[in-house]
Amino acid sequence: MLREIVLDTETTGTDAKNGDRLIEIGCVELINHVQTGKVFHKLVNPTRPVSQGAFAVHGISDAMLADKPLFADIVDEFRDFCGDSPLVIHNAPFDVGFLNMEYARLGAAAPPPIDLADVVDTLQLARRKHTGAANNLDALCSRYGIDTTRRTKHGALLDAQILAEVYVELLGGKQTSLGLAMTEAEEVVILGDGGEVVPVGPRPLRHRLSEAERTRHAAFIATLGGGGAVWRDYLGEEETA
């Protein structure tokens, strides 16, 4: 079972190193690339004003954040939700930079910083797959036909949910998640070392009859009158005594 966490954030501005802060975190759980419905979503009081430029993007005002918890108050819940699962983020250096700055502000209680090497950056995936094209979230949604009518403003949870859909498409489409509903005779789809989709042929069904059951069945067929079972004649089989 593969568990991943798709994550997005909103902030007071664009420069974590010069004092901008997180104000919203949204996370979506994926199991084998399928959204499970489990989410983590928090608004956070940044203890500083939201810039006008950022407000124009996400619409989250200072008044909306005034009574919200500090990052220090929600960090344990956030980390418990994520666990050791890989993070999936669009333009990962931005969000990881803000998260690591928030961690650093916790002082001695700070958890280890997030290593970008452990994060799946969907922007990099998109750039490799669609070289030279626009690869922001809106452009990718348009390319893959993903509905964004709910998205009048940026929002961490909604954007994470949309990004989860984009991520599956970047991996090759919804067939990558068929493993959750697979039967033994259906085709299996896996990911290769380079993230490409590798189809594997159908697996044959296991025999469900034991040898003893086969013997009893043959004995029963032999008791049938009128020349035995007609399908034996059709298949050219000899009757067993």
Please list the active-site residues: 154
The string of DSSP letters for the chain reads --EEEEEEEEESSS-GGGT--EEEEEEEEEETTEEEEEEEEEE---SSPPPHHHHHHH---HHHHTTSPPHHHHHHHHHHHHTTPPEEETTHHHHHHHHHHHHHTTGGGPPPPPPGGGEEEHHHHHHHHSTTS--SHHHHHHHHT---TT-SS--HHHHHHHHHHHHHHHTTSGGGGGGGG--TTSPEEEE-TTS-EEEEPPPPPPP-S-HHHHHHHHHHHHT-SSSS-HHHHHHTPPPP-
